[in-house]
Structure 1
């Protein structure tokens, strides 16, 4: 049987997308698993990708994974080269403004326009809300005059910031690393004013019905990626040190942050 592979969440530009396709080709060759590398770009819904019965290897954010009643099978989690916790599959959310703006701290953006990705995103919604919660508790009123979204993808958040359509927006730190690696000019157009607490990163997963032996072959092969000399260039292109096992217990943090915000009456970040 052929299984589908997709890295839509971290195919942040054409260069990154090509590198992920190269990785999946390597994975198919070395694991012996027949992978069909598919495109599933915006505006197609990520949820539709996760529902595929032939899914073998695709990224899913930990927040919708933890909320799901029928969960995908975890394969491995990436370890970014600029990891929030060195050597572990963690990331954070960078809160960005335009470089030309007068905002230098997150408090400077209050009263402006806040962007977000989608409500079941950790980096683009749940972590953003958790970071803003202490300010909301102190003020007991909304922090921004407008909440702009769903912007859905990191690319659309960056574009909205640069265009001035929003004053501040959340970016998955690993997605931002990939963007700047292949589009260094972005680094001069935006500025980080805050960073959230680290959290476990989105991971590669397979369909619930994917046979265990297929998942194990994919896991065994991907865990060699970080040490393979022939993969050094690809690791650089993907800003990766390698892959690690998925520790489901780490992702409970996302549910705790969600419950905490809702209990405080701060269901929507604004």
Structure 2
């Protein structure tokens, strides 16, 4: 049987998408699992990808994973080269403004226009709200005049910033690093003014019914990625050091942050 692979969440530009296809090609050859590498680009819903019954390898954010009634199977978590905790499968959200913006702190953006990705995103919504919660509690009122979204993808957050449609927006830190690897000009167009606390990174999943031997073969092969001689170039192109087993229990942090914000009557970042 042929199984589906996709890296929509981190196919942040054409060179990154090509690198992920090369990674999945290597994974198929080394694991012996027949992978059909499909495109599932915006505006197609990610939920449609995650609900496929032939899925073997696709990225899923930990927040919708924890909220899912029927959870998919965990395969492996990536370890970014520039992870906020070195050597760990974690990431953080960068709060970003235009490089020529007058804003230098997150407090200076208050009363402006805040962008967000989508309500079931950790990096583009839940982590953003967690970071802003202490300011909201101190102020006792909305922080921003407008909350603009769903922008859905990191790319569209950047487009909104550069077009002047929002003043500040959240970017998955690993996605930003990957974009800047392949689009160095972004470093002169954007500026990070704050960074959230680290959290467990989106990880590769398979459908709930994916056979044990398929999942095991993929996991065993991905465990060799860090030291595989043939993956030296891929590690650099993908800004990844390794893949590691998924500690599912760590992702409870995301629902805890969500519960804290809702208890404080701060259901959405604004």
> 1:116 aligns to what?
116
Structure 1 residue runs without a partner (length 5+) = none
| CA offset digits 1:83-125 (Å, max 9, x no partner) | 0110010000000000001000000000000000000000000
TM-score in terms of structure 1 length: 1.00
Query: How far apart, CA to CA, are the structure 2 residues paired with 1:8 and 1:226?
Result: 22
1:73 counterpart = 2:65:
no
Query: How far apart, CA to CA, are the structure 1 residues paired with 2:230 and 2:20?
Result: 15
> 1:104 aligns to what?
104
Runs of 4+ in 1 over 4 A off after TM superposition: none
3-state secondary structure, aligned to 2:100: coil
> 1:21 aligns to what?
21
Query: How far apart, CA to CA, are the structure 1 residues paired with 2:224 and 2:159?
Result: 36
Q: How far has the Cα of 1:162 moved from its partner?
A: 1.1
Query: How far apart, CA to CA, are the structure 2 residues paired with 1:261 and 1:267?
Result: 6
Query: How far apart, CA to CA, are the structure 2 residues paired with 1:187 and 1:47?
Result: 32
Structure 2 residue runs without a partner (length 5+) = none
| CA offset digits 1:189-241 (Å, max 9, x no partner) | 01000000000000000000000110000000001001112101110000000
Aligned Cα RMSD in Å?
A: 0.4
Q: How far has the Cα of 1:33 moved from its partner?
A: 0.3
> 2:223 aligns to what?
223
Q: How far has the Cα of 1:180 moved from its partner?
A: 0.2
Query: How far apart, CA to CA, are the structure 2 residues paired with 1:88 and 1:152?
Result: 26
3-state secondary structure, aligned to 2:224: coil
| CA offset digits 1:66-93 (Å, max 9, x no partner) | 0000001000000000001100100000
TM-score in terms of structure 2 length: 1.00
